[in-house]
Structure 1
Amino acid sequence: MPEDRPDLLVVSPDTHDDHDHAPDDFTHLGLAADTNMMSRTPVDRRRLLGLGALGVGTLLGAAALGSRASAALLGGGGAPPVGAPPGGAPPGGAPAGQGDADTVSSADGQCTTLPEETNGPYPADGSGASGQTVMILNKSGIVRRDLTRSLGTGHRVSGVPLKLTMQLVDVDNNCAPLAGHVIYVWQCTASGEYSLYSQGVTAEDYLRGVQVSDAQGRVTFETIFPGCYPGRWPHIHFEVYPNLGAAVAGNVDKNVSLVSQIALPEKESRLVYADRRYGNSTRNLNQLTLATDTVFSDGAKAQTPRVTGSVKAGYAASINVGLKS
């Protein structure tokens, strides 16, 4: 089967909720509350933190009522709903944004849909995979930019830094940006292990995270360049959901808008894999081509990001993801 790893031990992971910046009263609240907190201005965050239990209720209520309702509880000044463009324009982008070349061009200069791909054996998205069902999308703290730290243990993963920027656009609407969508990404470590699944890292949850697309349809993750394990071209997994409710519902087949993968370019991969932290990645890559990869063999042009940078300074990758409205 694609992406099978003989060295992976399937067990029920032992994870613990944690949060980088919230006090105890605000832990264990889940994805919707985390996202509501992150959508607010610094002033509103301080107000919520000062309200204690009432602040908790505000966050949880906002998951169902929306940010405008919770703003009323705070006496005004609340942020607009997550992903809403400035000025109250509806998700999808205002007409003025559609002419901005920076917001509509993909890595290859086109606005195209990406192919559906397998989510593999290690998604942790609530679907049954590898003989178990693991769900991380409703975990407090999973909405984050920095994927290098484990929420459960605080451990950090090592590797060449990679800043990944993804932009969602509507291919049926002049490549208009798609705001307010949830993007979940996950990947392997420098040595080819997947948190929550691989032997020795089942208690870790690094290299997995969620962002909500902004008014320009963009999300950015700070991660590491993934390693290359036997049988698979270097890649990053991702799923796109239309909203928070769909992401935390746990029914991927029904609720997901797109499941796909990003192919890392060979040139940069070989430079990175000279780093000793990447173990056998060069040897594994030497046994592969995009044409023989089980996922990318039908063509990976639209799935290959634009990559700039260096091993010493770190890399930045950007990719356009087109969706049909």
Structure 2
Amino acid sequence: MLLLAAPTVAHPGHKEEVYAHSALPLERKSLAHCSTKFNEPAFVKKTVQIHGRELARLRRARGIDVDASLQKESLHPRDYLSVSKINHKSNKTVTADMDLGSLFSDAGACILMPAVDQGPLYVKGEEIRKDITNDEAGIPLTLAIQVVDYKTCETVNDAYVDIWSSNSTGIYVGVQGYPGMGDPNDASILKGTTLRGVQPTDDHGIASFDSLFPGHYEGRATHIHAIVYLGAEKAENNTITGGRAAHVGQLYFDQNLITSANTVAPYSTNTMGVTANVDDFLFRQGANGDDPIVRYAFVNPAADPEGDGDFSAGLFAWIRFGIDQTADKPVSPAAFWTEDGGVMNPDGPIAHLPGGGNGGWPGWPSTKREADKERK
């Protein structure tokens, strides 16, 4: 009553105009209704800019040197240099039958995962399957991807996640004619489906795969590709049909983990050059604003003398994709998987390479071509 009477006491005889804000409930204290706004990338970026300027002002006022590069870096929630220095190794205990949802309790903030180049080695029409190793040699890697709506941070259920990567020696199976990826005239590579497959997200928004740690190849950091399809349906031949690509992205690994993995056979037999994360333009693009490096744990945490863990039992890795559910990304497959095996796309990205994708690019270093011949 006193609160209601206060305006009259303060201004006797004056009729206060009633504003809309006076109708808001006095007990509202939560900002949950603002979650959409607070998670918009532009809002996050602006907040970081303001905090960065304030931090620089305080440092100057206290006589602390303010590095110009640090001020520049403060314009982003994260940048690729800071992301590359984070240790993504987790002390979580992982088991084959664990609740995958528990992995994401520390999986990072819900920020839009930057969409990056699809790459020229995508095969459309791969089967829905969890184990995509095809019994190839390599470090076992179970990968869990959680898909969330970056505006609401709600999980996205019943989506389909399509992943693909190179094998332990840096070769993409399933595509013919890409420079450095085997004999460009050998069509048998089109029969393979190794490290390619599709999985639906569950009621936690999680899709998981039994895969292998990818091998390195020249020009790119070690990575795995992923497309998130919305509105697709399972077809009778165990593939997906329809829908749209709401997200096209790539995920990466800690540099020290890559270095350690490359000492293990058959990765150690790969003579192609290693490109560091920070030297990969697509990693820099994906890590300026978010963190595209997976968190991981060794399945067998027994440490070796270097403390890297036991690779023989494999790795468990997880990452969260914040996606824009309204997006519809263009997808241009290099090949299609059919009942008769793989068929190259005559209008795909490899077909458009100089030389038609048959033999590689003109000017491809002769030393590289000779090295490829030696490996064969």
Q: Is the 8 A contact 1:274 1:282 kept in 2?
A: no
Relative distance call for 1:282 and 1:169 in structure 2 (3 A) is farther
2:130 counterpart letter in structure 1: R
Relative distance call for 1:172 and 1:186 in structure 2 (3 A) is same
Relative distance call for 1:276 and 1:298 in structure 2 (3 A) is same
Match of 1:314 in 2: 314
Counterpart CA distance in 2 for 1:169 and 1:184 is 16
1:18-57 maps to which residues of 2 (within 5 A)? Answer: none
Counterpart CA distance in 1 for 2:168 and 2:104 is 32
Secondary structure of 1:183's aligned partner? strand
Q: 1:263 aligns with which of 252, 263, 280?
A: 252
| 1:233 pairs with 2:221 | yes
Counterpart CA distance in 1 for 2:120 and 2:172 is 10
Counterpart CA distance in 1 for 2:103 and 2:263 is 34
Secondary structure of 2:318's aligned partner? strand
Counterpart CA distance in 2 for 1:186 and 1:298 is 20
Q: Is the 8 A contact 1:106 1:319 kept in 2?
A: no
Match of 1:53 in 2: none
Secondary structure of 1:229's aligned partner? coil
- Report the CA distance between 1:284 and its aligned residue: 2.1
Q: Is the 8 A contact 1:262 1:305 kept in 2?
A: yes
Q: Is the 8 A contact 2:115 2:286 kept in 1?
A: no
1:79-124 Cα deviation digits (max 9, x unpaired): xxxxxxxxxxxxxxxxxxxxxx9486463x2111111111111101
Alignment: residue pair count? 198
Q: 1:194 aligns with which of 172, 178, 186?
A: 172
Q: 2:133 aligns with which of 109, 123, 148?
A: 148
Gaps of 5+ in 1: 1-100, 126-135, 150-155
Counterpart CA distance in 2 for 1:213 and 1:255 is 15
Relative distance call for 1:104 and 1:204 in structure 2 (3 A) is closer
Percent of paired sites with the same residue: 28
1:141-163 Cα deviation digits (max 9, x unpaired): x11110011xxxxxx21100000
Secondary structure of 1:284's aligned partner? coil
* TM-score normalised by length of structure 2: 0.49
Match of 1:41 in 2: none
1:246-304 Cα deviation digits (max 9, x unpaired): 98457xxx92100000012111111111012014558622xx33222031123535211
* TM-score normalised by length of structure 1: 0.56
| 1:162 pairs with 2:161 | no
- Report the CA distance between 1:178 and its aligned residue: 1.0
Relative distance call for 1:103 and 1:148 in structure 2 (3 A) is closer
Secondary structure of 1:143's aligned partner? coil
Q: Is the 8 A contact 1:168 1:322 kept in 2?
A: yes
| 1:293 pairs with 2:275 | no
Counterpart CA distance in 1 for 2:115 and 2:316 is 24
Counterpart CA distance in 2 for 1:206 and 1:112 is 31
1:2-33 Cα deviation digits (max 9, x unpaired): xxxxxxxxxxxxxxxxxxxxxxxxxxxxxxxx
Relative distance call for 1:299 and 1:255 in structure 2 (3 A) is closer
2:254 counterpart letter in structure 1: P
Counterpart CA distance in 1 for 2:173 and 2:189 is 5
Counterpart CA distance in 2 for 1:240 and 1:299 is 16
Counterpart CA distance in 2 for 1:293 and 1:225 is 18
Secondary structure of 2:296's aligned partner? strand
Relative distance call for 1:233 and 1:280 in structure 2 (3 A) is farther
Counterpart CA distance in 2 for 1:214 and 1:303 is 22
Match of 2:36 in 1: none
- Let me know the Cα RMSD of the aligned residues: 2.4
1:113 counterpart letter in structure 2: L
Q: Is the 8 A contact 1:167 1:177 kept in 2?
A: yes
1:1-325 maps to which residues of 2 (within 5 A)? Answer: 102=102, 105=105, 107=107, 109-125=108-124, 136-137=125-126, 142-149=127-134, 156-173=135-152, 175-197=153-175, 198-199=181-182, 201-245=189-233, 248-249=240-241, 255-279=244-268, 281=270, 284-285=273-274, 288-300=275-287, 301-309=290-298, 310-325=310-325
Counterpart CA distance in 2 for 1:223 and 1:145 is 8
Match of 1:51 in 2: none
1:29-50 Cα deviation digits (max 9, x unpaired): xxxxxxxxxxxxxxxxxxxxxx
Counterpart CA distance in 2 for 1:293 and 1:280 is 22
Q: Which has the larger radius of gyration?
A: 2
Counterpart CA distance in 1 for 2:173 and 2:145 is 22
Secondary structure of 1:168's aligned partner? strand
Q: Is the 8 A contact 1:104 1:177 kept in 2?
A: no
Match of 1:62 in 2: none
Secondary structure of 2:278's aligned partner? coil
- Report the CA distance between 1:324 and its aligned residue: 2.7
Counterpart CA distance in 2 for 1:261 and 1:305 is 10
Secondary structure of 1:312's aligned partner? helix
1:314 counterpart letter in structure 2: G
